[in-house]
């Protein structure tokens, strides 16, 4: 089997592995992929330095080599906080109201992609298979080709692909998308995002598309585009669930909620996750059922992320205000309806919290997949499972909410519909909880991160 070279914005170097917090789903998934195959993982160290000598930090651990470079203050500002997280992230999550259209940051984005190519190219060997990840590095494949890479190179987009009419609001959108045709394989989380991409290629680029195989031809270049829904590291997560840390966390939450039903949300603090809208829905539930304030306690765990970006500072203020209002209006000396926790927890602790909470609330306004939804299901007791309330706009809804079975699907924009789903979940009989759980657990267990990696890497290697 050829060696795997993974390239992503950030690399989880060994000593940082397993660290709780805003590391995100991507790091966990890639760790598992590289552990299985052995290989190299290249990316930004997360550190700032003005040193442009191209110094690289190499570490070897468990058959995986990590190679990282630092970025300058200007690079971080323009590439990471700027184009990636203030332009592409909001736009790809359908938020053109939050999208910044600055050419300057676009140039910084291209410059850092070029820098990545320059740094990683000497590490790539002839037979390596190269796998590039996410919106930070869309043009990297083209930059590697320009430097002579003949390897199989694949790209996976972890976030949604926006509808064509939104994407065309981006200056130089054609230039960005055309760079993707230098990959051999492009993976999306769902058929929905894949269809949007194909629509763009046909209608904006005039590419010819074979809808059966996903083959896209344009100006002499050919790329395959397919959907590969990412999964969780099932075995690892179950292993954590059997351990002491998870048990202690479960007991801790159960003891603190006493006779009330715990409902949980776990998200990075990000406007795409629909947190203010979620709090509005919970507020509506308490307004409509004041007598149930004693039945239900909501725990929202949301560690801050991307704090240098203005829209992320704003979301934090909004959330504090909204939870404060509801708690102010509905608290008693012995009851606080919403616990809002601004920190991260280990996966083992999250397993325990998920298992203790009888309702999981995962209501992003738009999400590529959403691994929290799958983790919530994986942590349930099959004999007494909780209910997952899931946004219809999360990629995970395609797998977990199909045919009205599995999760209760909601429109996260509507406080009324959210309130109704919460009431339905609270009153749901055991038999229905079990049958909904059974509709989800197979795909969560089987279509896990190892399956995902194997599917993508096999297609990438074979073409």
What is the binding site for ligand ADQ (CB under 6 A)? 20-21, 24-26, 28-29, 158-159, 230, 266-268, 301-303, 344-345, 350, 367-372, 375
CB of 301 to ligand ADQ, least distance (A): 4
- CB of 232 closer than 8 Å to CB of 351: no
CB of 366 to ligand ADQ, least distance (A): 9
The full DSSP string for 4-16 is EEEEEEE---GGG
C-alpha pair distances (Å), 322 with each of 190, 276, 299, 314, 338: 33, 7, 14, 13, 10
Of all residues in this chain, which one has the CB nearest to ligand ADQ in the complex? 25
Nearest partner of 181 among 201, 165, 202, 161, judged by Cα: 201
Q: Which residues of 198-215 are buried (b: 16+ CB within 10 A; e: fewer)?
A: bbbbbeebebebeeeebe
Smaller CB distance to ligand ADQ: residue 33 or 117? Answer: 33
- CB of 248 closer than 8 Å to CB of 383: no
> From CA 121, how far away is CA 39, in angstroms rounded?
15
**Residue with token string 């060994």:** 14
- CB of 396 closer than 8 Å to CB of 370: yes
Smaller CB distance to ligand ADQ: residue 20 or 123? Answer: 20
C-alpha pair distances (Å), 351 with each of 98, 192, 243, 266, 373: 33, 30, 10, 11, 12
The terminus-to-terminus CA distance of the chain in angstroms comes to 15
CB of 302 to ligand ADQ, least distance (A): 6
CA 143 vs. chain centroid, Å, equals 25
Smaller CB distance to ligand ADQ: residue 149 or 230? Answer: 230
Smaller CB distance to ligand ADQ: residue 372 or 419? Answer: 372
- Which residues belong to the active site? 158, 367
> From CA 142, how far away is CA 191, in angstroms rounded?
25
Q: Count H helices, E strands: the chain?
A: 18, 16
Smaller CB distance to ligand ADQ: residue 110 or 270? Answer: 270
CB of 126 to ligand ADQ, least distance (A): 29
Smaller CB distance to ligand ADQ: residue 371 or 408? Answer: 371
Smaller CB distance to ligand ADQ: residue 11 or 29? Answer: 29
Strand partners, 156: 133, 187
Q: Quickly list H helices, 331-391.
A: 347-356, 371-378
Q: Quickly list H helices, 25-88.
A: 25-37, 73-75
Residue 362: both structure tokens together: 């995962």
CB of 270 to ligand ADQ, least distance (A): 7
CB of 375 to ligand ADQ, least distance (A): 5
CB of 8 to ligand ADQ, least distance (A): 11
């Amino acid at each position: 089997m050829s060696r795997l070279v993974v390239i992503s914005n950030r690399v989880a170097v060994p000593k940082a592995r397993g660290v709780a917090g805003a590391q995100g789903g991507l790091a966990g998934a890639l760790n598992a992929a590289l552990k299985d195959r052995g290989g190299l993982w290249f990316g930004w160290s997360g550190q700032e330095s003005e040193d442009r000598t191209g110094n690289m930090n190499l570490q070897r651990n468990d058959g995986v080599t990590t190679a990282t470079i630092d970025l300058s203050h200007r690079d971080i500002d323009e590439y990471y906080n700027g184009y990636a997280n203030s332009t592409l992230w909001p736009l790809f999550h359908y938020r053109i109201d939050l999208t910044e259209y600055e050419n300057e940051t676009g140039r910084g984005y291209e410059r850092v992609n070029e820098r990545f190519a320059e740094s990683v190219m000497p590490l790539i060997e002839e037979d390596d298979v190269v796998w590039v990840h996410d919106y930070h590095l869309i043009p990297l494949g083209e930059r590697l080709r320009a430097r002579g890479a003949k390897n199989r190179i694949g790209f996976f987009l972890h976030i949604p692909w926006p509808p064509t009419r939104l994407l065309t609001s981006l200056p130089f959108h054609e230039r960005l998308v055309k760079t993707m045709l230098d990959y051999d394989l492009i993976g999306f989380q769902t058929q929905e995002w894949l269809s949007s991409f194909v629509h763009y290629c046909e209608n904006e680029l005039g590419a010819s598309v074979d809808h059966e195989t996903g083959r896209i031809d344009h100006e002499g270049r050919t790329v395959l585009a397919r959907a590969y829904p990412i999964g969780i590291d099932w075995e690892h997560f179950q292993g954590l669930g059997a351990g002491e840390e998870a048990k202690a966390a479960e007991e801790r939450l159960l003891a603190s909620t006493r006779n009330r039903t715990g409902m949980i949300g776990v998200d990075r603090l990000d406007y795409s996750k629909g947190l203010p809208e979620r709090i509005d829905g919970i507020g509506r539930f308490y307004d409509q059922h004041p007598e149930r304030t004693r039945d239900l306690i909501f725990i929202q765990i949301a560690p801050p992320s991307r704090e240098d970006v203005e829209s992320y500072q704003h979301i934090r203020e909004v959330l504090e205000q909204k939870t404060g209002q509801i708690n102010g209006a509905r608290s008693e000396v012995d009851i606080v309806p919403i616990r809002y926790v601004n920190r991260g927890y280990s996966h083992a602790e999250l397993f325990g919290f998920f298992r203790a909470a009888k309702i999981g609330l995962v209501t992003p306004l738009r999400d590529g997949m959403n691994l929290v939804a799958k983790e919530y299901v994986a942590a349930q007791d099959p004999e007494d499972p909780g209910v997952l309330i899931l946004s219809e706009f999360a990629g995970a809804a395609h797998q977990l909410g199909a045919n009205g079975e599995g999760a209760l699907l909601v429109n996260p924009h509507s406080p009324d519909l959210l309130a109704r789903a919460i009431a339905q979940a609270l009153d749901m009989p055991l038999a229905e909880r079990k049958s909904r759980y059974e509709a989800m657990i197979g795909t969560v267990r089987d279509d896990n991160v190892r399956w995902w990696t194997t599917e993508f890497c096999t297609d990438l290697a074979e073409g």
